[in-house]
A and B are shown apart, each in its own frame.
Chain A
Amino acid sequence: MGNLNPIQILVDTVSVGGLYALTALGLGLIFSVMRLANFAHAELVTCAAYAVFALSGQPVAVAIVASVGTAMVLALATERLAFRPLRSADQTTMLIASFAVSMFIQKLLIFTVGSRPKPVDPLPILAQPIAIAGAQVSLLKLATILACIACLGALTYLLRRTSIGLHMRAAAEDFTMAQLVGVRANSVILAAFVLSGFLAAVVALLFVAQTGFVHPRLGVQIVLVGFVATVIGGLGSLPGAAAGGFLVGALATLLQALLPAELRPFREAFLFLIVILVLLFRPNGLWPAPGLKERV
């Protein structure tokens, strides 16, 4: 990068951070209702990306619908087959289970399509740069920012203004209590998985458009950073997850721009170091969720 134009940095930060925020929100939705740190979210992203790849000759709209559908169906399938039977298990077992689900889908994908990266360019019209106040900004980054804002807005509306949103917030605060006052566990959890599938597909689409490649470990890369964001923001807190995403995006961009060249390859190591530090000083994140403390 090297270019320290403030608008350039701002656009980079928000477009990178937006992707992380959406990923973190997908993880955070599941965590808040189930206390499950869902590693398999990575494969939702990957499979959605492969759906785009598989339909790359078709109209863009078809590819988008297919990728959203793929991620949602996969999210529901993992819930039904793997996570529902473990709903009453402890966090550690669920975490290991989600690791296993993630590996299972990833290996299945490698088995069926191979591990080599494949080029794909779903949105070629967005490639050209435009100039804003002296900075060269690609249309794609602006589209990413707009898509992120739209998703955040829609999600906020859903959670604040609809009854299922109310149920989800209630379940996030105290699942048992919510059940006692008539919230249906299944519908809340399924809604969370559908939404996280949707968010995964959006992330996949934007990420693939930015990088131009699909490969079976694509999701892992981005979801791991998403985890960082949820932890920094506060596990189980959705505003925290979104804020954490943008914060991580900002950190990544700033580290890239400010670190001396010889330390730049270690950029992500610094990111993970920050996670550990946050966990040490604020174990529940910077914006902790209410009701997270385990009761004795």
Chain B
Amino acid sequence: MRPFTHLRPDTAGDAVATVAADPDAVFLAGGTNLVDHLKLGVATPGTLVDVTGLTSTAVEDLPDGGLRVGAGVRNSDLAGDPRVRRAYPALAAALLAGASGQLRNMATTGGNLLQRTRCAYFQDVTTPCNKRVPGQGCAARDGWTRYHAILGAAQDSAGLQHCVAAHPSDMAVPMLAFDAVVRLTGPDGDRAVPITEFYRLPGDDPSRDTVLRRGELITAVDLPPSPIAARSTYRKVRDRASYAFALVSVAAAVAVEDGTVTDARVAFGGVAHGPWRATRAEDVLRGAPATDDTYRAAADAELADAAPLDTDVGGNAFKVPLLRGTLTSTLRTLVEGAA
């Protein structure tokens, strides 16, 4: 565990300036992921810049009817916010499906978005990992991939850029389904990035999870008004009933009139390098009868390009039928509940 300096700047601007100027510095918020990485040697920063108190801890109403969630809002507070529970129930459910009560009390909205993969090889510095050390190789590709991606993973024959990691956040999945916007402040000023563009696929640089630039700090997440989100849910399937990362998860919102799906929002967790917006599934759903056959067809459309991993240590081909079943079950329950 490398010794580090712990700084508590007075303003977000000072924090940004410090991290932008020092490649050896990182932001520290709730610390529920980073502190593990310090102990494991996965992260070895020389300076921790503590941003606690530097970003909003409030959930504010926006003039357009949406909500602005401060980056410092704790997961437990966001899950309990009555406006979130009423207008975005899938988000409240996703938050409560994540981690444990103690962790949710510490974890922040900004930190949750930026948590890193729990790939067992990424977290073990004795095994090669392109995400941790670019060009080192990927131990996961032929290893234990139960919690790894089946969609959008980077595959190259040499394995030097390979990455099959999955993003672990539950919260980000409904945020993606509801077209949230991530607000940033950085050395070059403020900007807003739609969450649909915030996460990147591993491509040729698996070390980067997001489009965040050096020194940029998340200040808030905007949830746009979304009538359909009021009838939404989050379904997480995991290897035990609580306190485990998703094998697959589904955030879904659906509107049905006279037995026909008129609109839908669907995103998946546990299956890709980031939360995965299932636009192909949404396309199949819109205008189709609200039946199991439709739901399965929607899943199959999204899974057409799935590339599950078949390994000696434990592959993840099961995620294809699992995701199909989970989406079908989730949509059926959602529609039946509304009827």
* A and B interact physically: no
A residues in contact (CB < 8 Å) with B: none
